[in-house]
Structure 1
Amino acid sequence: MTDNQPTPDRIMRLINGYWATGVLAAAATHSLFTHLENGVDTAAGLAARAEISERGAQTLLDGLVSVGLVELHEGRYRNLPDASTYLVEDTPVSLARFAKLKLKHMGALTDLADVVRAGGPVKAPVVEVANNPHWEEIVKAIAPQSVPAATAAVELLGLAEAGEISILDVGGGSGIYSGTWLEANPAARATQIDWEPINAIARRLLDERGVGDRFTCVDGDFHTTGFGTAEHDVAVYSHIAHQEGPEANIEVFTRLRQALKPGGTLVVCDYVVDDDRSGPAFPLIFASEMLLKSKQGSTWRQADYREWLLKAGFENVAFYSAPPGTLVIAR
């Protein structure tokens, strides 16, 4: 067989891709990446530190080497840079919680073939309610995904030098944007609109960051809660547009435009695809989750955001890469 001929290897890895999710989630559950980062470098050592079987530790290490997160060098294991940066626990960008969370979602994929045929969910969708106890887990798990975008926006918008500005965060969840921006600008103040239990989590997290005295929460559903008129210098709408259809997004963008002072800026972050739908890779595959779970959601194109924002009254729309998402800045 020549080098140019296809082999079944990549297809087999994709067919069995759920094993990568399982191995990654199990390794995160037992803190293997953290232990490796702290110098434990053998299966026996990891088994002892994590209080798991040595057979189990070796199996996880084999899997992590297979998916390119851990390397073996002269009989010793160590994290590769991606794992060292994003899977060690208790760092601002750690995705270890998210890895454990996604393991619980794998069962829903068995419906995907039927969902594709129907064009949307085939089972009654889970109706999110404000008092669901899972918010504590979910809010903390998804927050690190927004750290790159929130950090990039500080520089793009010149927030550190912006003085006494007012920030509106719609559906702000953990308050990751408000927390990052308030740390960068000690004169800024932020208001978050979200459900009461989620706001309670955000208040606690921002108190821990030492900026809670400049952070206000409005309890409510952003679909029905007012945003105010000409009250804010900056507004942020992060990882929500993919859950909504075109009309709903235009309606929210219009209200956000009205909430901004003249010359104000809207920051949208989401998984945005190229206009010809050729990339980026993660937003393209994330569209499957929206088909599975929502009636109208999708990963929308840059052209869609530009059209909606112009209809909402914004005059200038720009896009900036902030993996795994894209920052959309509208003025």
Structure 2
Amino acid sequence: MSGTQPTSDRIMLLATGYWATGILGAAASHSLFTHLDAGADTTDQLAARAEISERGAQTLLDGLVSLGLVEVHAGRYRNSADAATYLVEGKPTCLSDFAQLKMAHMGALADLPEVVRAGRPLTDAVVEVADNPHWERLVTAIAAQSVPVAAIAADTLRLAEAGEISILDVGGGSGIYSATWLRLNPAARATQLDWRPINAIAGRLVAEEGMAERFTCVNGDFHTTDFGTAAYDVAVFSHIAHQEGPEDNIAIFAKLRGALKPGGTLVISDYVVDDDRSGPPFPLIFGSEMLLKSKQGGTWRRADYQSWLAKAGFDDVTFQPTPSPATLVFAR
């Protein structure tokens, strides 16, 4: 018999995948990546800096080496390139808060078998409600994911040299797109439409960047709140489409089309699935999160976006991959 024989290694790694979530979340909660970046490169030094036991430090380091997030040479440890970029506190792309957040969500997966049977969350306690305390932590934790994507979108649209443009960010969360684009273009102005508790977070974060005078918030539900008519040069719909079902996405895209000036552009960022549903890996697996936490959401195919955007009145739709799991969709 030729070929590689099957082994249980990969299945064992998948079945114990929650260990990786726990190790990453625990390491982030004790700032191990930040201490490594600052030069603490031995077990005892890390234990002392993080104020944890040496046994605990060694266990986390062993796990992080296994995960490829930390490298070891002659008993000295350092961050991998990925960890140095995305897990060191203080960097705009830092995902440490997100890693801790997901560690706290592990228990919810125990409901997945019954959620799969029902085809929806087991209770009405889903994320799409304004007063869910889940937002306060989630909104800031996920902002770092959009930092490089917002910069790529700005470069593609040449926003830095676009002059006095008006931007609408629907469901803008932390305001990261507005903050990024207003920083690049000092003549631009941005309006974010989101629930009041989320806009309060965005207003605070954008003000900290010194751009509060060019940033306006509209409190409301984007399903029912009017977007205006021919008022904006660019509109953003980032990581919201996966929470919505097909009919709601079509309706929202149509409202966004109406809100754009002639020649305006809608920018969508989300986890987009290939038309044959063969990949990419992250968008495919993210669908389980939407099954657990949303009533109609999912990860949608390129063909879905093309069809929905055409029905909403857009006739030019392009897709642009990014270094993150997200794909940018430009519609005109």
- Check whether TM > 0.5: yes
How do 1:33-112 residues align onto structure 2 when only pairs under 5 Å count?
33-112=33-112
Q: How does 1:292-311 map to 2 (within 5 A)?
A: 292-311=292-311
Paired with 1:280 and 1:195, the residues of 2 have a C-alpha distance of 31
Tell me the residue number matched to 1:320: 320
Contact kept in structure 1, 2:271 and 2:325, CA below 8 Å: yes
Give the whole-Å Cα distance in 2 for the aligned partners of 1:242 and 1:128. Answer: 12
Equivalence for 2:266: 266
Matches within 5 A, 1:249-260: 249-260=249-260
Q: 1:17 to 1:176 in 2, by over 3 A?
A: same
2:127–2:134 contact (8 Å) kept in structure 1: no
Q: For residues 149-188 of structure 1, what are the structure 2 equivalents within 5 Å?
A: 149-188=149-188
Counterpart in the other structure of 1:115: 115
Counterpart-to-counterpart distance in 2, 1:39 and 1:127: 40
Amino acid at match of 2:120: G
Asked if 2 retains the 8 angstrom alpha-carbon contact of 1:195 and 1:219, the reply is: yes
The answer to whether the 8 Å contact 1:69/1:82 transfers is yes
The alpha-carbon distance between structure 1 residues 127 and 163, as it changes in their structure 2 partners (threshold 3 A), is closer
Distance of 2:123 and 2:132 partners within structure 1: 20
- Aligned-residue sequence identity (percent) comes to 72
My pick for the range that moved more, 198-207 or 54-63, is 198-207
Deviation at 1:3, TM superposition (A): 8.0
Aligned to 1:9: 9
The SS at the match of 1:23 is: helix
Q: Distance in 1 between matches of 2:129 and 2:120?
A: 21
Give me the whole-angstrom Cα distance separating, in 1, the residues matched to 2:160 and 2:211: 14
Tell me the residue number matched to 2:330.
329
Local SS of the residue matching 1:268: strand
Contact 2:128 2:294 in 1 (8 A): no
- 1:196-275 matched pairs, under 5 angstroms: 196-275=196-275
Specify every segment of 5 or more residues in structure 2 that has no aligned partner in the other structure, as ranges: none
CA gap 1:153/1:217 in 2 versus in 1, 3 angstroms: same
Distance 1:274 1:21 in 2: 26
Q: Partner letter of residue 29 of structure 1? A: S
| Alignment coverage as a number of residue pairs | 331
SS at match of 2:192: strand
Q: Give secondary structure in 2 for the equivalent of 1:109.
A: helix
TM-score (norm 1): 0.97
Taking a change above 3 Å as real, the CA distance of residues 130 and 292 of structure 1, as seen in their structure-2 partners, is: closer
CA drift at 1:210: 1.8
Please tell me the root mean square deviation across aligned C-alpha atoms, in Å.
Answer: 1.5
For residue 102 of structure 2, give the secondary structure of its aligned residue in structure 1. Answer: helix
**Pair 1:119–1:176, CA change in 2 (3 A):** same
- Structure 1: gaps of 5 or more residues: none
For the residue of structure 2 that corresponds to 1:68, the secondary structure is coil
- Which deviates the most, 173-182 or 114-123? 114-123
Q: Distance in 1 between matches of 2:227 and 2:177?
A: 17
CA distance in 1, matches of 2:98, 2:63: 19
The separation in 2 between residues aligned to 1:146 and 1:56, in whole angstroms, is 33
Give the AA of the match of 2:21: T
1:199–1:219 Cα contact (<8 Å) kept: yes
Report the Cα offset of residue 117 of structure 1: 2.0
* Residue 7 of structure 1, CA deviation: 1.9
